[in-house]
Structure 1
Amino acid sequence: MSSLKSICIIDDDKIYTYGVSKIIKNYLPGNDVMSFENGKKALSAIKEMEQNNDELPDLILLDIDMPEMNGWDFLNEFQSIRDKVNKEIQIFVISSRIDQKNQEIYRVEWDQKVDDFIQKPVQVEALKDLLA
């Protein structure tokens, strides 16, 4: 049995976010799920969590194409928080625009910041594997 995790979903697609949250709650009960519609809102909330000494997420599911602050900009800004905290936070980039060729390009540039790139739609088994 996997240990419980705090999961942060950052995606502007409300239907996708609802679906992933529902899958996690149904198939992996007990995990804490929070969601934000763009990187700016997520970053603000995570900074507040850090300032209040609240537990930061264990895992972030991050979309790339979002309004206000896209996934790449979020990663750049988030790195300063990640460098300060004594916690491993996994980040999975989830996008419908990831193909094999781009994935290799992204992997070189973002290797230290991203744990993996996952194609949308995310399947139940893939989520179970991430949270195992």
Structure 2
Amino acid sequence: MEGNTVWIIDDDMVSQFAMTYKIEQSYPNYQVVGFYTVEEALTMIKACAETQNGLPNIILLDLVLPEINGWDFLEELENIKGRIDGLEIYIVSAFSNTKDRKLAKEHPLVIGYFDKPINKGSVDEMFDRAII
């Protein structure tokens, strides 16, 4: 997972496919990696942080996930924060919950919040910040 990488953490296969498709159409220089559980993503990000190799540039995170949710993922990331500097995390959720939007806006690791399904404008907004 070298180079420009986007991780999508979402348990919905259709959402993952749609996000991957939109990213690959507009930003083919990015590799997209999908995770269906927070546990999978945490295992991988901890391994990448240890070696400082393979960390993603961007994470698109759903909040509503089975067992461990998106907020739990962010809490776990705070424990390894120094080793993941520069990581851009965006919340992508199907629920327009005002409380979640406010929490996301105030969370130090979260760059932005987008509604599902994401559109090309949302993808461009994310990637305009991340272009290296």
Fold agreement, TM-score > 0.5: yes
* Match status 1:34 vs 2:27: no
The aligned residue for residue 91 of structure 2 is: 93
State how far apart, in whole Å, the 2-side matches of 1:31 and 1:12 are. 21
- TM-score, normalised by the number of residues in structure 1: 0.85
Aligned Cα root-mean-square deviation (Å): 1.8
Amino acid at match of 2:95: R
Aligned residue for 2:113, secondary structure, equals: strand
Gaps of 5+ in 2: none
Share of identical aligned residues, percent? 27
Offset of residue 16 of structure 1 = 0.7
State how far apart, in whole Å, the 2-side matches of 1:55 and 1:41 are. 15
Gaps of 5+ in 1: none
Contact preservation (8 Å) 2:101, 2:113: no
Amino acid at match of 1:95: S
The aligned residue for residue 116 of structure 2 is: 120
CA offsets per residue over residues 61-107 of structure 1, 9 Å max, x none? 0000001210000000011222234x3111111101124x3255314
State how far apart, in whole Å, the 1-side matches of 2:110 and 2:127 are. 16
The aligned residue for residue 78 of structure 2 is: 79
Aligned residue for 1:115, secondary structure, equals: strand
| Residues 1:105 and 1:126: Cα distance change in structure 2 (over 3 Å) | closer
- TM-score, normalised by the number of residues in structure 2: 0.85
State how far apart, in whole Å, the 2-side matches of 1:26 and 1:18 are. 12
| Residues 1:107 and 1:11: Cα distance change in structure 2 (over 3 Å) | closer
State how far apart, in whole Å, the 2-side matches of 1:105 and 1:125 are. 21
